[in-house]
Amino acid sequence: MNHEPVYIVDGARTPFLKARNRPGPFAASDLATAAGRSLLLRQPFAPTDVDEVILGCAAPSPDEVNIGRVAALRMGCGHKVPAWTVMRNCASGMQAIDSAIAQIRAGRSNLVLAGGVDALSRAPLLFSDAMVHWLASWYAAKSTGQRAALLVKFRPQHLAPIIGLMKGLTDPIVGLLMGQTAENLAFRFGITRAEMDECAAESHRRVLAAQREGHFAREIVPLYDHAGRLYAADDGVREDSTPENLAKLKPFFDRKYGNVTAGNSSQVTDGGTWLVIASERAVEKHRLVPRARIVDTQWAGLDPAQMGLGPVHAATPILQRHGLALNDLDAWEINEAFAAQVIACQRAWASDEYCRTELGLPGALGSIDPSKLNVDGGAIALGHPVGASGARIVLHVLETLERTGGRRGMAAICIGGGLGGATMVERMTQ
């Protein structure tokens, strides 16, 4: 096995922009291009020096087929740089990073631009099968009489749209919305509504504090739309997201018995993230100054109805391989798909039964120190542009290590379909 070191040289992202029940100002390719251009402009190499571009995207629009290639050409990487798109639901951006590692260790590339993007506000509205069949018959009709007969068969309910985003957030195997899987975890681990709302409020508090302190300044690339409006910061965070106000919201996924609400769930959001991934050879050739070494990555599978525990199943093998305890790491980023899901991960690691039966361990691993976990808040306040989130948490765990002087950090994410992904990085201290 090739264990050649692989480095993170730099990274950048767009502001994460909350969807407001209408298409946002930027398509996914716009977001990827804007973040990538700014990132490449500050590098000592030309965009055409990149060996490969890999972009994760869960929901590209029909006019962004192979969005990785679209973004690469728009960023000025040139015709000769191959570019491709990967999709692993919520971890598409992390998959792009892992694919870059694989390409480098296989000797096929030395310098890769890898990241993720999604513009969920632009998720399509779809026709029902009944409407599609009716339209097909209409276009096949050859006479006025045939069309008249079809008009008689038409029903207004044929026009009822199917919300593409809701279809995408529904597991096709177990038939559950992602929020319903969070309800499963809340029931399994006895997580109360008050605990969920407190976790959500804390996410907003931490993001607000991080914004005031400028903790996102280095990673965010400001955007301008066609009207000249500036988007310089993540706009989903709310000062009024207190436990008291969140408690007023009604359950969304299980309206009768549930506790998962829009307020203690991640937001529907648009955003993009890129990282520059390099081999030792690329570092020497271009005189790069790496910010971190990628120590290890792991993917895991679990019950789709319990998908929120994916970070536990992916991060634990990494800890075992390197002989580390949870709090031997200096920073953790666990993507906040739902407050219940993040709390459940902590409960699972602290459970003797779960660690023995599900992870094959002799006993509980304990809990992550809250001062090390999502120190600047998470997706509940920032939003979860599905394709971008896995790359964002890798970038931000590095940002946190650099700011705090920490050495090692873990980014972990749950993935729809019953998967988990994790990436461990080590800050360069030269």
8 A C-beta contact, residue 416 and residue 90: yes
- Report d(CA 39, CA 43) in Å as an integer: 7
What's the mean pLDDT in 73-84? 98
pLDDT tens-place string over residues 392-407: 999 999 999 999 999 9
When pLDDT is averaged across residues 358-369 and rounded to a whole number, the result is: 97
Q: pLDDT of 133-157, one tens digit each?
A: 889 999 999 999 999 998 988 888 8
Helix (H, G, I), strand (E, B) or coil at 264: coil
Q: Which of 77, 90, 345, 355 is catalytic?
A: 90
Averaged pLDDT for residues 203-222: 97
Pick from 73, 16, 62, 70: which is nearest to 40 by CA? 73
Give the number of other Cβ atoms within 10 Å of residue 417's Cβ.
Answer: 18
| 119, β-bridge pairs | 270
Task: Look up 345 and say whether it is catalytic.
Answer: no
H/E stretch holding 86 reads: strand 83-86
User: Shortest CA distance to 379 belongs to which of 416, 334, 345, 419?
Assistant: 334
pLDDT reported for residue 175: 82
Output the pLDDT for position 61: 86
> Angle 413-205-336 (CA atoms, 0-180°, nearest 5)?
15
pLDDT value, residue 172: 83
In the chain the domains, ranked by start, together with CATH numbers, are: 178-214+295-425 (3.40.47.10)
pLDDT tens per residue across span 316-351: 999 999 999 999 999 999 999 999 999 999 999 999
- How confident is the model over 105-134, as a mean pLDDT? 90
Provide the angle, in degrees to the nearest 10, between the axes of the packed helices 386-404 and 92-105: 70
Q: Check if 355 is active-site.
A: no
Mean pLDDT value of segment 263-289:
97
pLDDT of residue 348: 98
313: annotated active-site residue: no
Check whether 168 has a pLDDT greater than 80. Answer: no
Question: In this structure, are residues 124 and 391 in contact, taking their beta carbons and an 8 Å threshold?
Answer: no
Do residues 244 and 316 make contact, with C-beta atoms less than 8 angstroms apart?
A: no
Nearest to 387 by CA among 32, 56, 39: 56
106: pLDDT strictly greater than 80: yes
Helix (H, G, I), strand (E, B) or coil at 177: strand
Q: Of 424, 217, 392, which is closest to residue 322 (Cα–Cα)?
A: 424
Residue at 141: amino acid letter: A
Task: Choose the catalytic residue: 199, 345, 355, 414.
Answer: 414
CB 87 within 8 A of CB 49: no
Listed in sequence order, the DSSP H helices in 169-218 are 178-189, 193-213
Under DSSP, is residue 337 helix (H, G, I), strand (E, B) or coil?
coil
pLDDT exceeds 90 at position 235: yes
What is d(CA 199, CA 220) in angstroms, rounded to the nearest whole number?
A: 25
pLDDT value of residue 62: 84
Whole-model pTM? 0.93
The mean predicted confidence, pLDDT, of the chain is: 94
What is the structure's pLDDT at 11? Answer: 98
pLDDT at position 430 is 65
**Residue-level pLDDT at 316:** 98
pLDDT at 35: 97
Residue 214: which residues within 8 A CB-CB, separation 6 or more? none
The token pair at 342 is 């993040």
Per-residue pLDDT reduced to its tens digit, 1-53: 467 899 999 999 999 999 887 889 999 999 999 999 999 999 999 999 999 99
284 or 172, which is more confident? 284
Catalytic residue among 204, 215, 313, 384: 384
